A = this chain, B = another copy of it.
């Protein structure tokens, strides 16, 4: 891990490039085709690809969270200090918004926009909870069993989740906020943010809870049983 300044800059930079990719590829795809499945494909492949890159190159600096739901889980697991976690979240939101603005600059659109795309309803909320559950569980299981594969696991998971969740898997409150600043293919109406963010945080907490049991190390489990036996004596 680098010092705090470098870590925060890495979170800003990573989230900015991630959102620039999500929003920019959405604009590109939407401009080039009328087929929405093809547009989603043109949105999916760049997002999955850039995640592999960003997590590989910035992970050694900041851990490459780029996502307040992920930072929250690490804070609750006491793997990052609470005050650092708050700075991470601020960095992620700032970075995400910068990413939206950068995408607009590249495509010569008004720099500041507000999305009008409606994304609400029980199906969308279930989808976001599932999306964030899968993302956080993938990260925690990856850390437990094969940490050098995490960039690929996250990139591939999001590639799948763009298609199997009804919401196209935002799965990230900072990215959701940033997408509210873009009235393009990838946008979301600000009014619909709270539902998405709550669902994402609940999904992340559910994954953390399940991982706490399912991924427990056998040794730890054995020790737990032994200490219970001792306590019972």
A contact residues vs B (CB 8 Å cutoff): 2-3, 6, 9-10, 13, 17, 20-25, 28-29, 32-33, 35-50, 52-53, 56-61, 102-103, 105-108, 121-123, 126-127, 130, 134, 137-138, 141-142, 144-146, 149, 152-153, 155-157, 159-167, 210, 213-216, 218, 221
**CB proximity of A26 to chain B, nearest CB, Å:** 9
Among A17, A46, A160, residue most surrounded by chain B Cβ atoms (within 10 Å): A160
| A36 nearest in chain B by CB position | B32
- The 19 sampled A-B contact pairs (Cβ below 8 Å) are A25-B164, A32-B35, A35-B35, A37-B39, A38-B41, A41-B41, A41-B45, A45-B160, A52-B153, A52-B156, A53-B157, A53-B160, A56-B149, A57-B153, A61-B215, A102-B126, A106-B123, A106-B127, A155-B156
Quick one: given A32-B40, A44-B45, are A61 and B214 in contact (CB under 8 Å)? yes
> Judging by beta carbons under 8 Å apart, are B138 and A121 in contact?
no
> Judging by beta carbons under 8 Å apart, are B2 and A218 in contact?
yes
Quick one: given A46-B160, A46-B164, are A57 and B25 in contact (CB under 8 Å)? no
